[in-house]
Amino acid sequence: MKSIFSWAVLLASVLLTACSGDSSLPASNATLTTKPGVGLASSFSVSGDPAGNFGESFVGPDGNGFIVVSPTDNQPAQALYRISNETTQRVPGGLSSPVSFDATSTAPIQTTPITLAQIVGTYTIVIDGVPTDFQIAHDGTVSTPTSACKLRGGLGVPTGIVGTVPFAFTMSGCTKSGAFNGYLISATDYKPSSFRLVAENGTSIIDAFAYKDVTP
């Protein structure tokens, strides 16, 4: 319990910094001419972002959430927006021109509730072409016992964005490194994977599907 509590405190701090109305928040570094639906997970066409033309949004009932933008559907995201009622923060880097979503192209993403009990186990993801294994323990901690690319961190308390769990971790020995903050996302659209991992470290994005090890 001590481990998951400490990671929950860290994640709470991160989420308050990224999503609250605190006056210390940095100014927005991107402008969205349209906002995704509140309390919904949706996909849509994007224009104005060099990261790509396909967007997916995951927004809680309070209007806080995130958007990922990919070159096309089924390709890894190249940009992540953290959105709230006050700010819009894009990683990597801001944009001087506005970004818009085509409302007529919106389609629902069928997210599914995700709990710690469901996802305890060993998983494989592929980061920049390199397979990496990691384990989720019963207390929510995440570790990598065997792979050269190491993930170490923990899961947080769900924030109200259906089908997502916050995930804070560090990476070492990988093509990307540093402290990352993001989410595990569970959706029927992402089957046969167990969930999708999307995270950012301020300068780069990780977007990978995780497959559970079912070896007896």
Q: Which domains are assigned to the chain?
A: 2-108 (no CATH), 116-212 (2.40.128.10)
d(CA 134, CA 185): 16
Percent of the chain at pLDDT > 70 equals: 88
DSSP 24-62: TSPPPS--BSS-PPTT-EEEEEEES-TT-SEEEEEE-TT
Task: Please state the pTM of the whole predicted model.
Answer: 0.85
User: What is the per-residue pLDDT across 83-140, written as a single tens digit (0 to 9) for each?
Assistant: 988 899 999 999 999 999 998 899 999 999 988 888 999 999 998 888 999 999 999 9
What is the mean pLDDT of the segment spanning 44-64? 95
Each residue's pLDDT tens digit, 31-50: 999 888 899 999 999 999 99
For the segment 170-183, the average pLDDT, to the nearest whole number, is 93
What is residue 25's predicted lDDT score, i.e. its pLDDT?
53
